[in-house]
Amino acid sequence: MSARELDFYFDYLSPYAFLASREIGELCERHGALLHFKPVLFAGLLNHWGQLGPAEIAPKAQHVFKECLRHAILRGVEFRGPKHHPFRPLTALRVSLPEVAGDQQALVIETLFAFGWSKEGHLGGDAEIAGALDAVGLDGTAMVGRSSEPAIKQLLLESTEEAISRGVFGIPTMLIEDELFWGLDQLKYLDLYLSGRDPLRNVSMETFQNDGPSAWRPGVPPREP
């Protein structure tokens, strides 16, 4: 019997993704699930679905940082935040693609998340990214160089488009067997799902269908049924 496969969609912009990345590997290992890291461009998701990012709403940005700091303190995780936020994550995401990182993908992702969110590094700077990768024994200069190749740029676009086609609208998102779990707080529900104890296991969602909206906010395109 083949292992169940879980896709972890992330962008380095998200502190929630950083914290989730520290737990998702152990969770998958415990349940015998095969983990696939999927770098995506958060801005691409926001643009497609017509949303603002948390960092683009001042009080929400503050709330997110405090929530993540509370989570990190309770779990003994060093949490500081990157030197700049928001930043341009393209290089970091591209070097994290399996076509660039190869069999060191997990190390690349762990290193860059820690560099930004634990060590206050600049995740938008090519030289800084290369230096962080060099520090763990990787060829950061070569990897950053590859990130500018047209084929690699296209792969990140395709990864983002694939995520959108699967209904991914935020990060981090965990997808397994077409069941979508969005956000750090969904890890507990993902754990239940993987253990066969999902509260929705015996629930017919058709029971909860309504007759559609009776009002719609001006300027917002109506969603498809």
Residue 225 lies in a domain: no
Can you tell me the distance from the alpha carbon of 196 to that of 123, in angstroms, rounded to the nearest whole number?
Answer: 38
Which helix (H) or strand (E) segment holds residue 28: the answer is helix 15-31
Mean pLDDT of 113-142: 98
Residue 29 lies in a domain: yes
Which helix (H) or strand (E) segment holds residue 108: the answer is helix 105-117
Residue 211 lies in a domain: no
Residue 212 lies in a domain: no
Beta bridge partners of 175: 7, 180
Mean pLDDT of 204-220: 86
Residue 8 — very low, low, confident or very high, per pLDDT cuts 50/70/90? Answer: very high
CA 147, 148, 152 angle in degrees (round to 5)? 60
Q: pLDDT tens digit string along 16-71?
A: 999 999 999 999 999 999 999 999 999 999 999 999 999 999 999 999 999 999 99
CATH of the domain at 62: 3.40.30.10
Going by their DSSP bridges, the two strands 4-10 and 33-39 should be labelled as parallel
Residue 152 lies in a domain: yes
Residue 139's domain comprises 4-198
Q: Indicate if the alpha-carbon torsion angle 70, 73, 75, 78 is positive or negative.
A: positive
Q: pLDDT tens digit string along 65-101?
A: 999 999 999 999 999 999 999 999 999 999 999 999 9
Q: Are 100 and 94 contacting, i.e. CB atoms less than 8 angstroms apart?
A: yes
Residue 221 lies in a domain: no
Residue 88 lies in a domain: yes
Q: Are 125 and 135 contacting, i.e. CB atoms less than 8 angstroms apart?
A: no
- Give residue 77's pLDDT: 97
Residue 156 lies in a domain: yes
Overall domain count for the chain: 1
